[in-house]
Amino acid sequence: MSWNILPQWLLPEQWRSEAQERGLDESGSKAGPPELGKSDGNPPQPTKQGLPESESTPKARPTGTDEVPTFSLNGHDSEERPKPTNPVEAKSMFPAANSAQRASAMPPPPRPASKPANSTSMGLMPPPSRPAVAQRGPPPSAAASLRAPATGPLPNRGPPANSQQRASGGLSPNGAITPNARGKVLLSPGHSPMDWAALTRTGNLAGVSTFQRVTPSQLRSMTGRKGKPAWSSWQGKVYNISPYLPFHPGGEAELMKAAGRGGTKLFMDVHPWVNWENMLTTCLVGVLVPENHGMGEGESSLEDMD
Ligand code: HEM
């Protein structure tokens, strides 16, 4: 038991009387007269009267220092632990002053990183809050995914081609429908480049059932007006550009400049990087041929068909 290391005047009444009965002092040996532990509530006076010569601990004789004996239920520990003399050591009792942990140069074990209280007290910012998980709706359909190009020009979505916004809008001071510096227009919904790509996969957009030989006069008549389709030739190939008009990022008016004629130079002046051949594959009408190709009178077989 560790009660025997305490001064008698610090012991509870019950223990004090017990110690007196056993006649033990703090070292466990037979003590002197029982008046040592009188229960008058006052600490014993530092007098040698009544104390045996063998008594050497300060329990019954305060030394005047501020040390307060520690109390532990484990009597062995309290008796074996050396009393700290350094005030710093006195505050930090773990690891023990003479332990291997103190003697070695090993750093202390790392603190757990995920303690917000610790990180705050260390002056560190708390970890950033995780971004909210994007609200995802049902998986997009195949057609919808086609409308969101991962690369290439962003689809221009905006008011319909014949709307008031298209007619008067845009950043151009002269009223042209060119809302950006590059002259792109706002395409009506459902007319993005990906929509066009999806449309071209649906089938033939040429407007003719068979491959045609187109003469220049024939081509000139296909202006996209008066109920006729708009044809244009690029490098000897004739395309029906009517279906592409609402999809053209440069606007219908720009594209219509090539209607009924060769559009190579116009095209190459503006965007030589555009792969028109791929884009217009299903719009291919035929090839451009000399005016009197296959005709004695210079008449066009297509004109006859109309
Ligand atoms: C059928 C033939 C044509 C196709 C397939 C086509 C296709 C395109 C494409 C894909 C763009 C967007 C380019 C980009 O974002 O980089 C574009 C823009 C444009 N196109 Fe065309 N185009 C054609 C004919 C023409 C013609 C004949 C003209 C002019 C007479 C023209 C004028 C423009 C303009 C001004 C732009 C906007 C500026 C720009 O994107 O650089 N296009 N065209």
Answer yes or no: is 301 within a domain: yes
Same domain, 229 and 265: yes
Residues in contact with 93: Cβ distance below 8 Å, sequence separation at least 6, in sequence order: 84
Answer yes or no: is 287 within a domain: yes
ipTM: 0.89
Same domain, 169 and 214: no
pLDDT at 121: 45
Same domain, 173 and 253: no
Answer yes or no: is 300 within a domain: yes
Answer yes or no: is 21 within a domain: yes
pLDDT at 109: 63
Same domain, 11 and 37: yes
pLDDT at 184: 87
Same domain, 163 and 251: no
pLDDT at 99: 63
Its domain, for residue 65, covers 1-82
Answer yes or no: is 53 within a domain: yes
CA angle 8, 9, 11 (to 5 degrees): 65
Same domain, 182 and 76: no
Residues in contact with 239: Cβ distance below 8 Å, sequence separation at least 6, in sequence order: 206, 231, 232, 233, 280, 283, 284, 285
Mean pLDDT by runs of 10 across the 306 residues of the chain is 61 62 49 46 49 58 62 56 50 61 58 50 62 50 49 50 44 48 86 95 93 95 95 95 96 96 94 93 96 63 51
pLDDT at 182: 75
Same domain, 170 and 199: no
Same domain, 285 and 216: yes
Q: What number does the ligand 1 atom closest to the CA of 274 have?
A: 10
Structural domain ending residue among the three candidates 56, 82, 108: 82
Same domain, 172 and 275: no
Identify residue 110 by its one-letter amino acid code. Answer: P
Closest C-alpha residue for ligand 1 atom 2: 276
Same domain, 162 and 213: no
Closest C-alpha residue for ligand 1 atom 1: 241
Q: How many domains does the chain have?
A: 3
Same domain, 172 and 224: no
Q: What number does the ligand 1 atom closest to the CA of 241 have?
A: 1
Q: Is 95 in the pocket of ligand 1 (CB under 6 A)?
A: no
Same domain, 198 and 296: yes
Integer Cα distance of 282 and 202 in angstroms: 9
pLDDT at 248: 96
pLDDT at 130: 66
Answer yes or no: is 229 within a domain: yes
Best of 248, 265, 266, 269 to mutate for ligand 1, by most ligand atoms within 8 A of CB?
248
